[in-house]
């Protein structure tokens, strides 16, 4: 084979399966082998379901033989963030408190993937309950960045981004609450999309912050992301907040069938650059803006003053919701139970369980949120944050009267070294500066590789669009991607030093 | 110090102020936020799913039927229906609450600002006092699971050896109806409390939205009571007596709290703001959890649900379909039928209002309709331990029975035999009459023959009648009735006897 199987795109794999050139089982086995080669050190997976994956692949092969392939991604392997319920398969959310829990049901996303013939290889590592930007908050140890094993792969969906960037899987599912898909995609050099809030069902997605959480795709190119997006999106009667309207045709947009970007108005957000952004990040960003201009887009500078308050608003709303969402982990019905020795009261057992089962960051946010919702503080904190959220949404709406999409760097910096920010929560929170506003607004946003920045590490550019215009970000991203492929002579990931993505020993060369 | 002050003495010095919170379990087929069955009495934890168990990742979806029931209750209580209302989370930890928060409504209830007129009995017989109880709000929420604490002496969680939780009830839709402070003539307070709950229950039953069985817990009452010195304007400290499970208990609990709080206040003591437990055995209340150590529920809008926003058309359509308010209906029927308050009350006690009304609607006069339902049929219902509506006898049967007695085809005695036949499943009145050969003997021939035999048997009686002692004819009539197995018309027999012996 000209190219190793695991390096194919998802669409190439699906087409090869459909054409009978390669079996889904062969593809799955190649990825399982890749995982066993690199994951001991990379640690993208918390649980690999080799038997389940092989069985699913065989089912796809049988269906193909009958000419009944269920979707354009049938037979393609995928890494699923460990925050989605999977029937009979451990689901830990990166937390000790859920160690050993095997859900009796599938999340809607899980179900749709299975129904589409997508082969779920296993569950990926994450910051505990999706709280973090580095995957260092996992109770099961950090995941490494394939570009430099001493650096973080982003978070909270760091296991998913690392799996895709290191060719353990061509596709992955993550969740994005404040940037947890886009930031990991940016720092590992892949594509990551946060769909419009309500676009993808949250049923079975273990909640961190219900009004912000959104599942979405990771892939190594725009079309693959769009194909995955269309498999998981759409109205779900089991999620009251899921949108009851047709899913924007993201696949057509990614294929360029909805037009190029000539005359499209692209807004550069003043507030999402400047201080705090690394020179290499800004340089790559400027190049993308110039590229868009050269492709015929109209560049407009827009100001969104309320974005300055996105971070404090987010760190009141998300912790408030999480303090309530995570109350159910009390040791009574499932997961860890501590102190049940016959001498402790039920309150003491609950308290001991939570003390032992939750990590520091989760406790920090539960306490923040509990405080913010308390009688006498509610208006000053939660109430005020909701007002800011409204102002941010108005800034977006005003901007979208002038432009079609907005653009910014995805993250202020490239991947930082493991351990650098663990004792400085605010520095950690700042990794999401540019991604928080569209989370609070609810519109779709996508991160796309923009080149290498400081320390020769990947930089991402973020595209944002109005609610339910997910097609627009795919359309613009596809145009940029095509131009960059020409310029680079291949995907950015081809610049990932082979030894780093490859065998274990060389994996730590960058940081070492 | 005395633990209680006699009620009549207490209300000389203090004015009671009441607040009633009633939880009504809706009779929807499925739960508030998932598709699980709400049927009562299933084996523990068999009517559960990821959502009502609060499993990680599960989400709620609002039961539209429950929202409709909530709006109907609100409208029937003369409330405004919010064009836009939200659910909120009430956060507190307890093992029988799967999510450790209850999905409820807080500052945006679906129904608010209404009233319910209640009749307070024991006043002037035909003009009961009507008291208007102001309703603060009616809101939707979900029930919790049910804990059973095993071992220990108190039956409560502390001190128990272990606890079992049944989540079948978790997520069953509840409507909480909250009154504004009720201030009435002090001596009426306990009876107003009882009358309010009685009237509310009747309303709920008329709406058909709940079984409202207090003993099964599908209607639960919390009674708030406070006292203030006679004529004072500021409210005193209140206590909340939880889960008072019958109409009579509501009255007793209020009375007890008035007596108890008066004793505390008499010695310049302080009433503690707390929840209290009611004891059926002696009608007393005892201290539960003190509100001072109560949790801050940290309410905030439920982000997993979208707002409930019924259209004006929907609300108006529901309003048009409301049944007549029970109090109004009773007053109307009482006037139409010309019966006393007392007669209406015995009809209500027998649970026969609907049956009588239906029978009258078929053309029967009210006196006969009431006579059969509150007499013979009530006796049958009592014997069988069922309600009148559950008897196999219908309004149509009774209407036909009355027709047959009015036209002389049956007498009362035969009519009762017809009822026995209907009860035994022998068909309708006409079927029973035919099958059992029950008919008043209307042909004079056989009657005259029977009369002659009776006169021959009792010559002394015949002599007395001839002599003008007309009342002696009863003995002959009785003998004839016996001889004809009750199928004769007694009045006709009497006529014939007198004709026969006419001088």
Sheet with B300-301, strands from edge to edge, namely B101-104, B88-91, B300-301
Q: Provide mean pLDDT across the span A46-58.
A: 98
Q: Comparing C-alpha atoms, which of A475, A441, A466, A51 is closest to residue A223? A: A475
With an 8 Å Cβ cutoff, are B298 and A84 in contact? no
What was the pLDDT predicted at B87?
A: 98
Question: Which of B57, B95, B99 shows the shortest C-beta gap to A107?
Answer: B57
Q: Is the pLDDT of residue A9 over 70?
A: yes
**Chain B residues closer than 8 Å to A177 by CB:** none
Q: Which of A23, A180, A242, A408 is catalytic?
A: A180
What was the pLDDT predicted at B291?
A: 55
Residues 360-389 of A with CB under 8 A from B: 370, 373-375, 378, 382
8-state DSSP, A5: G
ipTM of the complex: 0.95
Burial class (CB in 10 A: 0-12, 13-18, 19+), B348: middle
What one-character-per-residue DSSP string does A303-335 give?
--GGGGGHHHHHHHHHHHHHHHHGGG-SSSSSS
Distance (Å, whole) CA A483 – CA A492: 12
**Chain A residues closer than 8 Å to B158 by CB:** 345
| CATH, domain A8-307+389-508, list 3.40.50.300, 3.40.190.10, 3.90.1300.10, 3.40.30.10 | 3.90.1300.10
What was the pLDDT predicted at B503?
A: 63
Give Cβ neighbours of residue A415 (< 8 Å, ≥ 6 apart): A145, A147, A148, A151, A152, A153, A154, A187, A188, A457, A458
Cross-strand bridge partners of residue B112: B80, B137
Q: Is B333 left (phi over 0), alpha (psi -120 to 50) or beta?
A: alpha
Q: Which of A23, A71, A156, A242 is catalytic?
A: A156
With an 8 Å Cβ cutoff, are A328 and B98 in contact? yes
Distance (Å, whole) CA B403 – CA B364: 8
Q: Provide mean pLDDT across the span A413-435.
A: 93
pLDDT tens for residues A154-172?
999 999 999 999 999 999 9
With an 8 Å Cβ cutoff, are B101 and A107 in contact? no
8-state DSSP, A381: I
Q: How many residues does chain A have?
A: 512
pLDDT tens for residues A342-401?
889 899 999 999 999 999 999 999 999 999 999 899 999 999 999 999 999 999 999 999
What are the residues of chain B with a beta carbon less than 8 Å away from any beta carbon of chain A?
A: 50, 53-62, 89, 91, 93, 95, 98-101, 157-158, 163, 165, 296, 298-300, 303-306
Q: How far is CA B374 from CA B329, B347, B364, B397, B457, in A?
A: 19, 7, 15, 15, 41
With an 8 Å Cβ cutoff, are B57 and A84 in contact? yes
Q: Which residue has the tokens 């006498």?
A: A376
Distance (Å, whole) CA A173 – CA A188: 15
Distance (Å, whole) CA A77 – CA A62: 16
Per the CB < 8 A criterion, the answer to whether B271 and B278 are in contact is no
| Average pLDDT for chain A | 95
**Residue in chain B nearest A87 by alpha carbon:** B50
Q: How far is CA A9 from CA A64, A164, A171, A176, A491, in A?
A: 20, 11, 9, 23, 11
Helix (H) or strand (E) holding A478: helix A470-488
**Half-sphere exposure of A267 toward its Cβ, with a 13 Å CA cutoff?**
22
A157 catalytic? Reply is no
8-state DSSP, B301: E
A447 catalytic? Reply is no
Distance (Å, whole) CA A410 – CA A190: 12
With an 8 Å Cβ cutoff, are B305 and A205 in contact? no
**Residue in chain B nearest A86 by alpha carbon:** B57
What was the pLDDT predicted at A1?
A: 44
A235 catalytic? Reply is no
**Chain A residues closer than 8 Å to B98 by CB:** 328, 333
With an 8 Å Cβ cutoff, are B56 and A103 in contact? yes
Q: Comparing C-alpha atoms, which of A173, A156, A203 is closest to residue B57? A: A203
Distance (Å, whole) CA A454 – CA A389: 33
Q: How far is CA A323 from CA A172, B144, B388, in A?
A: 28, 20, 53
pLDDT tens per residue across all 503 residues of chain B: 578 999 999 999 999 999 999 999 999 999 999 999 999 889 999 999 999 999 999 999 999 999 999 999 999 999 999 999 999 999 999 999 999 999 999 999 999 999 999 988 665 555 667 899 999 999 999 999 999 988 876 666 777 788 899 999 999 999 999 999 999 999 999 999 999 999 999 999 999 999 898 888 899 999 999 999 998 989 999 999 998 989 999 999 999 999 999 999 999 999 999 999 999 999 999 998 665 555 799 999 999 999 999 999 999 999 999 999 998 898 899 888 888 888 887 788 777 888 898 999 999 998 889 888 888 888 888 888 888 888 899 999 999 999 988 888 888 888 888 899 999 989 899 898 888 888 777 677 788 888 888 888 888 888 888 888 888 888 888 888 888 877 788 888 888 888 887 76
Cross-strand bridge partners of residue B173: B142
**Residue in chain B nearest A97 by alpha carbon:** B56
Helix, strand, or coil here: A124? strand
3-state SS, B205-267, equals HHHCCCCCCCCCCCEEEEEEEEEEECCCCCCCCCEEEEEECCHHHHHHHHHHHHHHHHHHHHC
* Fold of the domain spanning B444-500: Arc Repressor Mutant, subunit A (1.10.10)
A104 touches chain B (CB under 8 A): yes
**Residue in chain A nearest B162 by alpha carbon:** A342
Give Cβ neighbours of residue B50 (< 8 Å, ≥ 6 apart): A85, A103, A104, A105, B57, B58
What one-character-per-residue DSSP string does B405-445 give?
HHTTS--HHHHHHHHHHHHTT--SHHHHHHHHT---B--HH
Contacts 24+ apart (CB under 8 A), B3-9: B3/B260, B3/B263, B4/B256, B4/B259, B4/B260, B4/B262, B4/B263, B5/B259, B5/B262, B5/B263, B5/B266, B6/B259, B7/B190, B7/B255, B7/B258, B7/B259, B8/B187, B9/B262
What one-character-per-residue DSSP string does A59-94 give?
HHHHHHHTT---STTTT-EEEEETTB-BTTB---TT
Q: Which residue has the tokens 């008072």?
A: B244
Residues 164-223 of A with CB under 8 A from B: 202-207, 209-211
pLDDT tens for residues A223-247?
999 999 999 999 999 999 999 999 9
Q: Who has greater pLDDT, A216 or B347?
A: A216
Q: Where are the beta strands (DSSP E) in B280-427?
A: 284-290, 300-301
Q: Comparing C-alpha atoms, which of A231, A152, A224 is closest to residue A199? A: A231
Distance (Å, whole) CA B148 – CA B164: 5
What was the pLDDT predicted at B499?
A: 83
Cross-strand bridge partners of residue A301: A268
With an 8 Å Cβ cutoff, are A98 and B95 in contact? no
With an 8 Å Cβ cutoff, are B57 and A211 in contact? no
Distance (Å, whole) CA B342 – CA B377: 19
Q: Comparing C-alpha atoms, which of A319, A306, A9 is closest to residue A164? A: A9
Q: Provide mean pLDDT across the span A411-428.
A: 93
8-state DSSP, A379: I
Distance (Å, whole) CA A24 – CA A12: 12
Min Cα separation B90/chain A (Å): 9
Q: How far is CA B423 from CA B258, B320, B358, B394, in A?
A: 49, 38, 19, 10
With an 8 Å Cβ cutoff, are B91 and A373 in contact? yes
């Amino acid at each position: 084979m000209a190219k190793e199987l695991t390096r194919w795109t998802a669409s190439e794999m699906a087409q090869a399966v459909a054409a009978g050139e390669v079996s889904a089982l062969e593809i799955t086995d190649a990825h399982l082998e890749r995982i066993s080669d690199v994951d001991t050190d990379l640690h993208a997976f918390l649980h690999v379901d080799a038997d389940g994956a092989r069985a699913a692949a065989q089912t796809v092969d049988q269906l193909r033989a009958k000419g009944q392939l269920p979707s354009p991604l049938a037979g393609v392997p995928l890494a699923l963030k460990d925050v989605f319920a999977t029937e009979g398969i451990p689901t830990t959310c990166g937390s000790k408190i859920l160690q050993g829990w095997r859900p009796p049901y599938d999340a809607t996303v899980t179900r749709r993937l299975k129904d589409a013939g997508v082969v779920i290889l296993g569950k990926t590592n994450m910051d505990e309950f999706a709280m973090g930007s580095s995957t260092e908050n996992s109770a099961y140890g950090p995941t490494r960045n394939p570009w430099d094993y001493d650096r973080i792969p982003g978070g909270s969906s760091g296991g998913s981004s690392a799996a895709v960037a290191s060719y353990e899987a061509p596709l992955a599912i993550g969740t994005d609450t404040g940037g947890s898909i886009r930031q990991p995609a940016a720092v590992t050099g892949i594509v990551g999309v946060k769909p419009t809030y309500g676009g993808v069902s949250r049923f079975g997605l273990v909640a961190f912050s219900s009004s912000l959480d959104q599942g979405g795709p990771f892939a190594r190119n725009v079309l693959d992301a769009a194909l995955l997006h269309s498999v998981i999106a759409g109205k779900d009667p089991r999620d009251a907040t899921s949108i009851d309207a047709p899913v924007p045709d993201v696949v057509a947009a990614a294929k360029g069938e909805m037009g190029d970007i000539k005359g499209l108005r692209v807004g550069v957000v003043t507030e999402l650059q400047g201080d705090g952004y690394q020179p290499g990040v800004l340089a790559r960003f400027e190049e993308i803006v110039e590229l868009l201009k050269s492709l015929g887009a109209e560049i407009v500078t827009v100001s969104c003053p309320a974005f300055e308050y996105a971070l404090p608003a987010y760190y009141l709303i998300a912790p408030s919701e999480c303090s309530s969402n995570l109350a159910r982990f009390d040791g009574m019905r499932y997961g860890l139970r501590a102190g049940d020795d016959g001498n402790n009261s039920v309150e003491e057992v609950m308290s001991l369980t939570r003390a032992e089962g939750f990590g520091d960051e989760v406790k920090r946010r539960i306490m923040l949120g509990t405080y913010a919702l308390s009688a006498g503080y509610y208006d000053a904190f939660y109430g005020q944050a909701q007002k800011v959220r409204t102002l941010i949404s108005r800034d977006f709406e005003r901007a979208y009267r002038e432009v079609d999409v907005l653009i910014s760097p995805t993250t202020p910096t490239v991947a930082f070294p493991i351990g650098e920010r663990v004792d400085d929560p605010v520095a950690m929170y700042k990794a999401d500066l540019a991604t928080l506003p569209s989370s609070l607004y609810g519109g779709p946003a996508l991160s796309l590789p923009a080149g290498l920045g400081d320390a020769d590490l990947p930089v991402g550019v973020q595209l944002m669009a109005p609610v339910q215009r997910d097609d627009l970000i795919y359309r613009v991203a596809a145009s940029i991607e095509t131009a960059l492929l020409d310029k680079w002579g291949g995907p950015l990931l081809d610049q990932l030093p082979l030894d780093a993505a490859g065998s274990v020993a060389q994996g730590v060369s960058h940081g070492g | 110090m005395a633990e209680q002050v006699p009620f009549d003495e207490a209300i000389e010095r203090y004015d009671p102020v009441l607040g009633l919170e009633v939880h009504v379990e809706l009779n929807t087929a499925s739960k508030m936020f998932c598709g699980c069955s709400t049927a009562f009495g299933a084996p523990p934890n068999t009517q559960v799913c990821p959502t009502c168990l609060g499993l990680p990742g599960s989400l709620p979806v609002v039961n539209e039927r429950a929202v409709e029931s909530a709006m109907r209750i609100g409208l029937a209580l003369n409330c405004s229906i919010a064009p836009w209302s939200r659910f909120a989370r009430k956060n507190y930890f307890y093992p029988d609450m799967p999510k450790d928060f209850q999905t409820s409504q807080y500052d945006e209830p679906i129904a608010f600002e209404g009233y319910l007129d209640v009749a307070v009995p024991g006043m002037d017989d035909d003009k009961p006092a009507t008291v208007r109880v102001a309703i603060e709000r009616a809101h939707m929420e979900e029930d919790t699971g049910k804990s059973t604490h095993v071992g220990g002496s108190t039956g409560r969680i502390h001190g128990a050896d272990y606890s079992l939780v049944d989540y079948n009830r978790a997520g069953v839709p509840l409507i909480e109806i909250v009154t504004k402070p009720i201030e009435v003539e002090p001596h009426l307070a306990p009876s107003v409390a009882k009358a309010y709950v009685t009237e509310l229950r009747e309303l709920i039953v008329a709406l058909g939205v709940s079984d409202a069985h207090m003993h099964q817990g599908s209607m639960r009452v919390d009674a708030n009571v406070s006292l203030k010195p006679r004529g004072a304007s500021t409210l005193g400290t209140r206590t909340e007596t939880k889960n008072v499970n019958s109409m009579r208990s509501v009255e007793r609990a209020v009375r007890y709290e008035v007596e108890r709080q008066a004793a505390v206040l008499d010695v310049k003591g302080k009433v503690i703001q707390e929840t209290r437990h009611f004891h059926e055995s002696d009608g007393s209340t005892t201290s539960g959890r003190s509100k001072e150590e109560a949790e801050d529920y940290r309410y905030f809008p439920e982000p997993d649900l979208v707002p409930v926003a019924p259209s004006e058309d929907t609300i108006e359509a529901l309003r048009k379909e409301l049944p007549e308010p029970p109090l109004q209906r009773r007053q109307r029927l009482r006037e139409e039928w010309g019966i006393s308050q007392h007669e209406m009350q015995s009809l209500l006690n027998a649970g026969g209002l609907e049956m009588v009304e239906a029978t009258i609607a078929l053309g029967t006069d009210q006196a006969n309709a009431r006579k059969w339902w509150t007499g013979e049929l009530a006796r049958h219902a009592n014997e069988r331990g069922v309600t009148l509506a559950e008897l196999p006898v219908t309004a149509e049967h009774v209407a036909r029975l009355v027709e047959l007695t009015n036209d002389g085809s049956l007498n009362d005695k035969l009519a009762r035999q017809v009822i026995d036949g209907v009860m035994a499943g022998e068909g309708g009145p006409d079927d029973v009459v035919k099958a059992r050969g029950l008919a008043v003997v209307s042909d004079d021939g056989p009657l005259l023959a029977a009369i002659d035999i009776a006169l021959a048997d009792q010559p002394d009686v015949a002599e007395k009648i001839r002599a003008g002692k007309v009342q002696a004819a009863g003995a002959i009539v009785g003998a004839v009735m016996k001889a004809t197995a009750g199928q004769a018309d007694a009045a006709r027999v009497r006529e014939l006897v007198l004709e026969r012996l006419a001088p």
